[in-house]
Homo-oligomer: A and B are copies of this chain.
Amino acid sequence: MKIAIFGFGAVGRGVARVLMDKERMSKVLGDYSVVAVADSRGSIVSESGVDLGEALRLKEVRGRLPEGMGVEEIIETLDFDVALELTPTNIETGEPGLTHIKMCLEKGSHVVTSNKGPLVVAYRELERLAKRNGVKLMFEATVGGAMPVIKLIKRNLAGNKVESIKGILNGTCNYILSRMEREKLSYRQILAEAKELGIAEANESYDVEGIDSAAKLVILANAVMGMDVRFGDVEVSGITEITPEAFEIALEKGYTIRLIAEVSENELKVGPRLVSLNNPLCVHGTLNAILIQTDLAGEVFVIGRGAGSIETASAVISDLVDIRACDGWV
């Protein structure tokens, strides 16, 4: 299996670190090599296999990969079986991931992506394109990081009708809310600390306004519930207006507040909700959690790490393994 890695940020580097352990990974991936690694400014291409340790070292020392072919040129000229599209999410245009994914699917390469943008913007189109070209488009890492969700529903719960999904899909919001719950501090104060710790980004709006959760919800709705919805269809509100007093009132009655994303036949929304302290959805810190309501298996509940370089790499690897092993699946 020849693998090309597009995007060499936290996720790309996490994947590279995991793929460096050839002895272990070849047990689940068979024979493989990484034939290209590219970031937004440069690349390393080698048909006999890129030295991933060296790529990581260069990226660390110089902050970028050496000058080389751009991603589009690599897609046009290099032979590979699977592209890992790990560039940053842009949910308005889907770019540059959208173009990368389309080009790869069109040339007959499988794609594994952690990039929500292309899926939010053009899920049905990409799904059709993959089907038409007889290749797979996999995206476990886009929702819930290392928490199994997409394949859990499509594979492990195959044959079930998914009636609804309800979950905590953003670790930054959950970190802020669970600290507000325990420490009675203001939103602003905890946000500032979360930024210092690197848990919230410098521009936090994407997380705290519910946009990231809504993007993930759109992916779930389209990919595992057979819906055809867009970002604009989601009713979104964030966590910026929640006060310590709101927590006080909730806690008195045995509840707390969490940012919940919910999808069912009649509903597609993200917003702060009261959650009973006994509810397994009441997770703490940066964890993600999801409750899947099905008709045969009943309710299935999963908690896991929604972010992190190696954790997200685990999801990417599970997609690669699926591509290798499960030809009968789409």
| Cross-chain pairs A/B with CB under 8 angstroms, 22 sampled | A25-B159, A28-B158, A146-B298, A155-B155, A156-B156, A156-B318, A157-B314, A157-B318, A158-B317, A159-B321, A280-B303, A294-B314, A296-B311, A297-B311, A297-B314, A297-B315, A300-B302, A302-B303, A324-B328, A325-B327, A326-B327, A327-B327
Q: Which residues of B contact A42 (CB under 8 A)?
A: none
Q: Which residues of B contact A329 (CB under 8 A)?
A: 325-326
Q: Are the C-beta atoms of B303 and A146 separated by less than 8 Å?
A: no
Contact count band on A: 35 or more
| Contact (A159, B318) CB under 8 Å given A303-B301, A328-B324, A328-B327 | yes
Chain A at the B interface: SS class:
mixed
Q: Which residues of B contact A278 (CB under 8 A)?
A: 284
| Contact (A297, B304) CB under 8 Å given A152-B152, A155-B322, A318-B155 | yes
Q: Which residues of B contact A310 (CB under 8 A)?
A: 296
Binding site for B on A (CB under 8 A): 18, 24-25, 28-29, 140, 146-148, 151-152, 155-160, 278, 280, 283-284, 294, 296-305, 308, 310-311, 313-315, 317-318, 321-322, 324-329
A64 vs chain B, min Cβ distance (A): 26
Q: Which residues of B contact A321 (CB under 8 A)?
A: 155, 158-159
Pick from B28, B146, B296: contact of A18, CB under 8 Å:
B296
Q: Which residues of B contact A308 (CB under 8 A)?
A: 298
Q: In the complex, A310→B297 CA distance in Å?
A: 7
Pick from B140, B159, B311, B318: contact of A298, CB under 8 Å:
B311
Q: In the complex, A318→B317 CA distance in Å?
A: 21
Q: In the complex, A318→B326 CA distance in Å?
A: 14
Q: Which residues of B contact A314 (CB under 8 A)?
A: 157, 159-160, 294, 296-297
Q: Are the C-beta atoms of A146 and B318 separated by less than 8 Å?
A: no
Q: In the complex, A25→B315 CA distance in Å?
A: 28
Q: Which residues of B contact A324 (CB under 8 A)?
A: 328
Instruction: Name the 7 nearest CB pairs between A and B, nearest first.
Output: A325-B328, A146-B297, A301-B303, A326-B326, A296-B314, A148-B156, A158-B321
Q: Which residues of B contact A322 (CB under 8 A)?
A: 155
> A156-B318, A298-B305, A325-B328 given. 12 additional CB < 8 A pairs?
A25-B159, A148-B156, A151-B155, A155-B156, A155-B318, A155-B322, A280-B283, A294-B314, A297-B311, A298-B311, A301-B303, A327-B328
A160 vs chain B, min Cβ distance (A): 6
Q: Which residues of B contact A294 (CB under 8 A)?
A: 314
Which residue on chain B has the smallest CB distance to residue A321?
A: B158
A317 vs chain B, min Cβ distance (A): 4
A30 vs chain B, min Cβ distance (A): 8
Q: Which residues of B contact A318 (CB under 8 A)?
A: 155-159
Q: In the complex, A157→B18 CA distance in Å?
A: 13
Q: Which residues of B contact A326 (CB under 8 A)?
A: 325-329
| Contact (A304, B311) CB under 8 Å given A155-B151, A318-B155, A325-B326 | no
Q: Are the C-beta atoms of A159 and B296 separated by less than 8 Å?
A: no
